[in-house]
Amino acid sequence: MFKKTIIKNGLRIITVPIKNIQSATVLVLVGTGSKYEEKETNGISHFLEHMFFKGTKKRPSTQKIAETLDRVGGSYNAFTSKEITGYWAKVDSKHLDLALDWVSDILLNSKFEAKEMERERKVIIEEINMYLDTPMSYVHDLWEKLLYGDQPAGWMITGEKEIIANLKREKLLNYFKNHYLAKNTIVCVAGNINPVATGKKIKKYFKSIKTGSPKIKIKVTEKQNRPQGLIYYKKTDQTHFSLGVRGYDLFHPLRYAQLILATILGGGMSSRLFISVREKSGLCYYIGTSSENTTDTGYLVTQSGVDNQNVEKAINLILKEYKSLKSRKVDKDELQKAKDYLKGGLILSWESSDVQASFYVSQELLEGEILTLKEKLKKIDEVTASDIQKVARDIFQAKKLNLALIGPFKDKSKFKRLLKI
């Protein structure tokens, strides 16, 4: 069972002892991301994440930072999202002190040298170029741009190349000072650990974390009264698109029903859309539907890649499945299959220390409440066929439909005409 502790400076500590495994994961989440940025500094959260790997006083270079955990076969990385930035290290549990020392060192003692920043901005611009050249990935950014427009929720996490090229070190340091604070940070250790001893170690390694009141993000504004489309012209052999609707945030009582609805549509190789669009029609190699819930937004979206000649046919098939869920309740077997698919995935991943660390700490940071695995599974089990239909009727409306598309098309009007349900 996990244990949560809040120490005097506001830092939250979560320990998760796990029996019969040898690994331990240190995961630090900070409550910041691209939704906390301003237009002129879009991408700064992600830029800062990169800079934590460029050198500390103790480990003065990228090589010294990397080889610390390479020497013991550890895994480590970091990530930036809209609302979270995370840093983690996974090691044989006998190297837990080393992992704690490493993570705390990069987060508390990074030098953020100007020369390293100049080098890293080139790396980040190449990362942006990589995403722009990968339609399967970039179409998701366009999808969120279509939904949220020119506000933080609609901006790319990596930022725009022009902004990154001109971002000043002073801005980076100020962002660090305003967001990387004890009250905005959670340290979690999960795995083969003694929770009491580990809690003491976390306090020791993070005792110098800065205090203060972290900056808060502006609430997302959502407004839509008709179907929307965004077409990104690119000469491709295959069109990649995201088609979906606005949905529920993390705190909505029907968010688990939205998750199961997405699973029924495109959550596996026996899902409705996989069978309809791929197996029966042969239109695509990949297709999937996901449910996204953040603190103030949510959506359900289907993504696929099809031959340029088959885009309209694929879109119509997807909309047909959306519509069918409004008019007819899912039967008992299909509902149970979707529930078991979700529960099985959770249970199978549960044997990993990094999954358990993420499970507990992300709930604490985003929702302020932690449900156990058993309680999560119960939430899934409680969803009824009537709930699924209720969600379908609510979100599958023409005025909530959105289509983002990358392909060799310049006229979006013919695609917008398809957005009927």
Looking at the structure, tell me whether residues 265 and 347 fall in a common domain.
yes
356 within domain boundaries: yes
Q: What is the pLDDT of residue 414?
A: 87
Domain that holds residue 71: 3-205
Beta-strand relationship, 298-307 and 238-246: antiparallel
Measured CA angle at 102 (ends 96, 104), to 5 deg: 100
Looking at the structure, tell me whether residues 232 and 195 fall in a common domain.
no
Strand partners for 228:
402
Which residue, 35, 11, 7, is CA-closest to 361? Answer: 11
152 within domain boundaries: yes
| Integer Cα distance of 76 and 95 in angstroms | 13
| Integer Cα distance of 394 and 388 in angstroms | 10
Q: What is the pLDDT of residue 412?
A: 83
**Can you give the CATH number for the domain in which 241 is found?**
3.30.830.10
Q: Which two tokens stand for residue 328?
A: 């007819």
Which residue, 242, 40, 42, is CA-closest to 146? Answer: 242
Looking at the structure, tell me whether residues 101 and 201 fall in a common domain.
yes
Looking at the structure, tell me whether residues 171 and 254 fall in a common domain.
no
Exposure string of 197-234, with b = 16+ CB inside 10 Å and e = fewer, is: ebbebbbebbeebeeeebeebeebeeeeeebbbbbbeb
Catalytic residue among 37, 38, 40, 49: 49
Q: What is the pLDDT of residue 209?
A: 98
Residue where a domain stops, chosen among 157, 172, 205: 205
CA atoms within a 13 Å half-sphere pointing along the CA-CB vector of 39:
3
Q: What is the pLDDT of residue 93?
A: 98
Residue where a domain stops, chosen among 170, 205, 240: 205
**Spans of the chain, pLDDT less than 70:** none
Looking at the structure, tell me whether residues 42 and 186 fall in a common domain.
yes
**What is the DSSP code string of 323-358?**
HHHHHSPPPHHHHHHHHHHHHHHHHHHTTSHHHHHH
The one-character DSSP state at 9 is T
Looking at the structure, tell me whether residues 180 and 232 fall in a common domain.
no
Looking at the structure, tell me whether residues 184 and 277 fall in a common domain.
no
* Element containing residue 249 per DSSP (H, E): none
Q: What is the pLDDT of residue 310?
A: 97
Kindly compute the dihedral angle of the four CA atoms of residues 341, 144, 122, 108, in this order, to the nearest 10 degrees: -70
386 within domain boundaries: yes
Q: What is the pLDDT of residue 18?
A: 97
Looking at the structure, tell me whether residues 258 and 197 fall in a common domain.
no
Instruction: Give per-residue pLDDT as tens, 258-296.
Output: 999 999 999 999 999 999 999 999 999 999 999 999 999
217 within domain boundaries: no
215 within domain boundaries: no
- Residue 37 annotated among the catalytic residues of the structure: no
Kindly calculate the radius of gyration of the chain based on its CA atoms and give it in whole angstroms.
Answer: 23
Residue where a domain stops, chosen among 146, 171, 205: 205
* Element containing residue 285 per DSSP (H, E): strand 284-293
Looking at the structure, tell me whether residues 267 and 385 fall in a common domain.
yes
Q: What is the pLDDT of residue 157?
A: 98
218 within domain boundaries: no
Q: Is the pTM of this model over 0.85?
A: yes
Q: What is the pLDDT of residue 290?
A: 98
Looking at the structure, tell me whether residues 183 and 284 fall in a common domain.
no
| Integer Cα distance of 362 and 30 in angstroms | 10
221 within domain boundaries: no
Looking at the structure, tell me whether residues 164 and 240 fall in a common domain.
no
Looking at the structure, tell me whether residues 384 and 303 fall in a common domain.
yes
What residues contact 166, with CB distance under 8 A and at least 6 apart?
A: none
300 within domain boundaries: yes
Beta-strand relationship, 401-407 and 228-233: parallel
**In total, how many domains does the chain have?**
2
Q: What is the pLDDT of residue 411?
A: 86
